[in-house]
Amino acid sequence: MNQKSGAARSTQGFTEKQGQYLAFIYTYSHMFRRPPAEADMQHHFQVSPPSVHQMIVTLERNGLIRRQPGVPRSIQILVPPKDLPILNWLGIYLS
């Protein structure tokens, strides 16, 4: 698959789109001191509830996040923050 589709794996082991979700979860968690709900991600990314849920399931299956079954807002990022595309996501570019 090509890079534009977001399906190409980065050197960190996740796709560009997965990196965007991970960066959102990380940033949201630090801003609001709790992980986002799936509805928060749906609103931010302008996608359907099943799309968000599938992404969360994929991130968990790939070992990028951990959740506690039956506990809302229990997402934990398992990727070191330095490996997240946070600066790109925020539109901050280092020279």
Nearest CA among 61, 60, 39 for reference residue 50:
39
Q: What is the pTM of this model?
A: 0.80
Return the higher-pLDDT residue of 84 and 52: 52
> Is there a contact between 1 and 66 (Cβ–Cβ < 8 Å)?
no
Interval 3-62: pLDDT, tens: 444 455 555 689 999 999 999 999 999 999 999 999 999 999 999 999 999 999 999 999
Is residue 75 pLDDT above 70, yes or no? yes
Integer angstrom CA distances of residue 56 from 13, 73, 95: 16, 12, 33
Is residue 90 pLDDT above 90, yes or no? no
Is residue 82 pLDDT above 90, yes or no? no
Would you state the pLDDT for residue 7?
A: 52
